[in-house]
């Protein structure tokens, strides 16, 4: 047993987290939307470690502490104390270590977290589950057409999973193989096709003009 795992949350981990203060600026920033999608302190902690690859727990902790206030404050209907947020953050890192998603070792800068292969698999699943297209403050008036002509004979499972995913992401189905969206989804579509191994069958195109009746229907669908 590692020397820092002396209690449920790991005393060494809690001490490292305690080095983070309210006014300490995180080295890795997650947006409020990203934190909301991840839903748990462990999810936020894993995303930060994945972004950095290798990071001192004391440097990663401020962002997780901030997310804990939102996640558990909403759930309990009250704002947790800073001590409670520290404890939840330490528990999050301990959970990730215990189940093999990160490796934690003592180095010159203190306890350092590294993403494991199991952690990489987990973060990819988290990315897939929480994937959404970012919404800009103002729509530019253009549309994005996704053409997914996926051969079902050899790729039926991938075709079904891809269609189900973009449907849950809010894309409008023109046909079985054509989908429309008002905001640029290229990054998200690239992630999906790489994940499902169907990149050669899917194309994203920007469309500047649509039939007026179709556009009116789409604007109503997307609330534009």
- In this structure, which long-range contacts are made by residues 26-30, counting pairs with CB atoms below 8 Å and at least 24 apart in sequence? 26/59, 26/60, 26/62, 26/63, 26/66, 27/52, 27/55, 27/59, 27/60, 28/52, 28/55, 28/59, 28/60, 28/63, 29/63, 30/63, 30/67
pLDDT on residue 35: 52
pLDDT on residue 7: 45
Q: Which residue has the higher pLDDT, 24 or 212?
A: 212
Question: From CA 186, how far away is CA 192, in angstroms rounded?
Answer: 10
Find residue 143's DSSP bridge partners. Answer: 207
Closest listed residue to residue 9, CA positions, set 80, 82, 98, 70: 98
pLDDT on residue 78: 66
pLDDT on residue 171: 92
Q: Which residue has the higher pLDDT, 121 or 145?
A: 145
Write out pLDDT tens, residues 8-19: 455 677 777 776
21, 61 in Cβ contact below 8 A? no
Q: Is this structure's pTM higher than 0.75?
A: no
Closest listed residue to residue 104, CA positions, set 65, 155, 154, 61: 61
Place of tokens 């080295």: 27
Question: From CA 63, how far away is CA 97, in angstroms rounded?
Answer: 18
For residue 38, give both structure tokens: 């991840």
Place of tokens 């006014």: 23
pLDDT on residue 33: 53
Write out pLDDT tens, residues 90-99: 888 888 888 8
pLDDT on residue 22: 47
Write out pLDDT tens, residues 136-155: 888 888 999 999 888 877 88
Q: What is the mean pLDDT of residues 213-218?
A: 86
pLDDT on residue 6: 43
12, 63 in Cβ contact below 8 A? no
Write out pLDDT tens, residues 189-200: 888 888 788 888
Q: What is the DSSP letter of 90?
A: H
206 pLDDT more than 80:
yes
What is the set of domains in the chain, with CATH numbers? 11-130 (1.10.10), 143-222 (3.30.70.240)
pLDDT on residue 114: 87
Write out pLDDT tens, residues 164-189: 888 888 899 888 888 999 999 888 88
């Amino acid at each position: 047993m590692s020397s820092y795992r002396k209690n449920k949350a790991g005393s060494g981990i809690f001490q490292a987290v305690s080095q983070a203060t309210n006014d300490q600026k995180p080295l890795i920033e997650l947006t409020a939307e990203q934190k909301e999608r991840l839903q748990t302190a462990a999810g936020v902690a894993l995303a930060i470690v994945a972004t950095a690859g290798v990071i001192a727990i004391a440097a990663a902790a401020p962002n997780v502490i901030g997310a804990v206030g939102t996640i558990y404050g909403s759930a309990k209907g009250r704002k947790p104390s800073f001590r409670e947020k520290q404890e939840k953050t330490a528990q999050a890192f301990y959970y990730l270590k215990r189940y093999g998603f990160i490796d934690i070792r003592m180095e010159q800068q203190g306890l350092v977290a590294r993403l494991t292969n199991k952690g990489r698999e987990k973060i990819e699943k988290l990315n897939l589950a929480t994937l959404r297209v970012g919404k800009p403050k103002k729509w530019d008036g253009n549309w994005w057409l996704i053409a997914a002509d996926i051969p079902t004979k050899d790729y039926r499972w991938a075709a079904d999973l891809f269609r189900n995913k973009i449907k849950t992401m809010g894309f409008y189905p023109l046909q079985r193989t054509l989908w429309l969206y008002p905001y640029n989804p290229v990054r998200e579509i690239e992630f999906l096709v790489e994940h499902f191994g169907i990149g050669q069958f899917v194309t994203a195109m920007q469309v500047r003009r649509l039939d007026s009746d179709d556009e009116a229907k789409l604007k109503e669908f997307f609330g534009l």
